[in-house]
Chain A
Amino acid sequence: MKKEVITRLQRILGAPAVTEDETDLLVYECDALTLFKNKPDVVVFPQTTEQVAQIVRVANEYRIPFVPRGAGTGLSGGAVAMEGGIIIELQRMNRILSIDAENRIAVVQPGVVNIHISQAAAPYGLYYAPDPSSQMACSIGGNVSENSGGPHCLKYGMTTSHILAIEAVTPQAEIIRLGNPAGEVIGMDLVGSIVGSEGTFVIVTEITVRLLQKPRAVKTLLASFHSIEACSQSVSDVIAAGIVPSALEFVDAKTIEAVEASVYKAGYPLDAAAALLIEVDGFEEGLAETSDAIVEICRRNGAYDVRVAKDDEERARLWLGRKGAFGAMGRISPDMVTMDAVIPRTRLPEVLAEISRISERYGLPVANVFHAGDGNIHPLILFDSRVPDQVERIFAMSDDIMKLCVGVGGSLSGEHGIGYEKKEYMDMVFTDTDLDVMMQVKRVFNPDGLLNPSKIFPSRRGCTEVGPHTTTSTAEIGKHVDAILRGTR
């Protein structure tokens, strides 16, 4: 990076908020998906929207790519500077600016950790509903970019249903405000188009979120099964019965083994082939009947044990196991890749059976822990990166799993986004015209492509993304990965 660029950035932010230190940059070379790495040239830490705008102005002047980043917990490589350039780290913009209990809204900066919003709203009996498994660490700005999900999105909807208004810095360095605190669409839902655009439209610098009243009563159940088929059939039957659980989560034997060996030990049954963690919430009145109906469905499908959590402590422990499952995999495997895909809920049994066959074919174990209620599967591929060829096998396996999910009418991602990881798969679900139209819309916001390049669109389109004046410094690993992906397609 040119010295004068660094000087300019330092002048905006102060020297300590700009780092080019090689060791520092290592932290930013990937997100929570460690397969794709590329070091940025510089990382900056703005504290105000105005600073973000000034940084973007400098980036534009020198035609340097820039990438917004929150907590780095993303799982599709979305916050990685694949073309090098500037990472705009928004973690220091982490203030909750206001909570309006009467109108049930909160205004927050993008670096606020997801769970902190609910904690701040708790004294008013309110909370922020979307709850990604990483909610203890992930930032709301990242959630907005990815349109993040979480177990309770089954009943309450994804992030997009909870974002009312935003302030953002455009790739042309303008500061804009869109939406209104009522969340009412006026003309077109521009806010809704930005949510889930994976940081390729604008850099969100302030967010107005909807808060919900805490449910008066909650019941959490754990149903254990000796067969995966019986377990997944129960998921289909609960949904088909018209019950709207607030969460309906699936854990298989391998996940249970990892969780029970870890600090997230939740008391899951070690002899089960699979178990369902089911939650219903609402009013005390009628909740027992709904819960009984679920127990009945599970038992009819052969559940050998159905346990209803007695108190909040037991509930919390059951959830600890689920939310800690990804972390717990370290107990049984040195490395792991979390996959994300969606299938029609009724196709769960056959898809899980096929994934198990794919796992055997490639000799890599798969653990399944996912949001069964909306068909959002997360096969966790367990591997050891020290063993040669494992990464190649993962890509090939991932390819097969994606083809399988798309083949049954599913989609590439339910909540992690396309990012860098899945961009080559986009052709599986979209035609050239579909992608052309998406690219047109991207250009409305981000005409030069300097903001977060090399994401979402297949790389054959990449050449049209970044202007000819940019210096592209895609790292060796990125090229390697591209080659593998193309080779297996």
Chain B
Amino acid sequence: MTIDGVSVSKVLRPETVEELTESLKEKGAIVPVGAATQTYFGNPLRRADCAIDLTKLSRITTYNPADLTIHIQAGVTLGQLEHALMENNQFLPLDPWNGSGATLGGIVAADAQGPFRASGTIRDWIIGMTVVHADGRVSKTGGRVVKNVTGYDLARLYVGSLGTLAVIVEISLKLRARFAKTATAIAVCGSAGDARALIAAIRGCSVQPVSLEWIGTPNEVWVRFGEHPKAVEWQLKNLPTADWKMVEGPEESALWQQLRERYAGIGPALVRVVGLPSTVHEIIEEYRPAQWIAHALNGIVLMSVSNPGEIPRLRQRYRTIIERAPVEVRREIATFGLNDTEYELMKKMKATFDPQGRLNPGRHVDGERH
């Protein structure tokens, strides 16, 4: 296994939490890894003595369909989860780009996201978590019920921490019933200005899409609804005038799968620019990326960067995360672009969780500044 050019000679594949705890007794730098679908995300790994492959920890421990909760091990893949939920017509309302092969542990660690984020991201669906610490201690946060303010919500820290605080081993999630119907409308606009105006009109009218994407080039507007069938139909009918192509059923799923492929093709570097719904057009029109996917409801633009020098320039105006880039670029430019406050707090957090810096060295805050 090689990550960021660092080859890991030893790979352990624990099958139980006990074995995982045992494996943390290994000396040196430890790299927790799931399905390895997002190893390109994060600051470059500095060293690795042993990888802990979590894909064998793939049990769904308890599924309570009537409570809409599920408790799983970190190695369960999104596809496996979706399959289990299907028979009860339930789902986890997320569609991370890295797809159904990704493990939930990996999705949590990387805070993986996709275009469907109307009901939040993975952090909003976690109700509890168990982690194994660098020193082998096992601790949990949250619980197994859908609403809970007992103790600090440490899951908020583990989400996005790229396995650098602790190794995620169990996750409890709340679920929701599948939408009775979803449908997508697509319009190809003549110019960025037209796309901008169409998006403004959609945001200003009475529809409430679950995804609203501005995709380029060319300038496409994708709007997705998920609701009671009558509400979906009403919204499709009440969209602002444009040359809409309506897609539903299996063709619709295929369409969003195609977008996933387009996402995968964005390069050579892909950044996530964090703006506001009102600044999405500024970002696109000012930086004129070759390819982009903008979450117009959230103010987030995923875009290609051909010259890495643009990233610091972008950061002067917008918070910008490197979502995917060759390791040479990530060696030069920090992934998160943390400000001083965030950097200091996260550094302290890292030091308290992993004082010896053994977990995924260099990947997160510890690789942020040189």
Contact = CB atoms under 8 A, between A and B. Distances in A.
A437 interface: yes
A193 B156 contact: yes
Interface stretch (B11-19, B72-80, B345-353): B345-353
A147 to B, nearest CB: 5
Nearest to A376: B147
Interface string B317-351: 00101000000000000001110011001101100
B66 A239 contact: yes
A285 B228 contact: yes
A236 to B, nearest CB: 6
Interface stretch (A86-94, A153-161, A461-469, A472-480): A153-161
Given A147-B153, A187-B365, A345-B67, 18 more contacts: A153-B147, A176-B341, A181-B299, A182-B274, A185-B160, A187-B368, A188-B342, A190-B156, A285-B230, A285-B231, A342-B147, A375-B147, A418-B149, A418-B151, A426-B151, A436-B137, A436-B139, A437-B154
Nearest to A418: B150
Nearest to A283: B231
A433 B274 contact: no
A262 interface: no
B101 interface: no
Given A157-B124, A346-B67, A414-B147, A177 B90 contact: no
B89 interface: yes
B309 to A, nearest CB: 21
B177 A242 contact: yes
B341 A242 contact: no
A236 B139 contact: no
B230 A103 contact: no
Interface string A384-423: 0000000000000000000000000111111111100010
Nearest to B174: A374
Nearest to A102: B278
A422 B208 CA distance: 41
A409 B64 CA distance: 12
B160 A438 contact: no
B146 interface: yes
A440 B352 contact: yes
A146 interface: yes
B298 interface: yes
Given A196-B149, A374-B146, A438-B154, A185 B65 contact: no
B106 to A, nearest CB: 16
Interface of A: 100, 102-105, 146-147, 149, 153, 157-158, 160-161, 176-178, 180-190, 192-193, 195-197, 213, 216, 236, 239-244, 282-287, 289-290, 342-346, 371, 374-376, 409-418, 422, 426, 429-431, 433-438, 440-445, 456
Contacts of B368: 187
For this complex, into which size category does the number of interface residues on chain B fall? Answer: 35 or more
B3 interface: no
B148 interface: yes
Contacts of B111: 185
B266 to A, nearest CB: 18
A410 B203 CA distance: 40
Given A244-B177, A343-B145, A431-B139, A282 B66 contact: no
Contact of A344 (B64, B121, B154, B349): B64
Contact of B148 (A284, A287, A413, A437): A413
Interface string B347-370: 011001100000000001100100
Contact of B234 (A158, A177, A283): A283
Contact of A437 (B133, B145, B176, B338): B133
Contacts of A176: 341
Given A239-B68, A426-B151, A409 B145 contact: yes
B123 A193 contact: no
Contacts of B268: none
Nearest to B69: A344
B123 A240 contact: no
Contacts of A435: 151
A160 B245 CA distance: 37
Contact of B150 (A102, A241, A411): A411
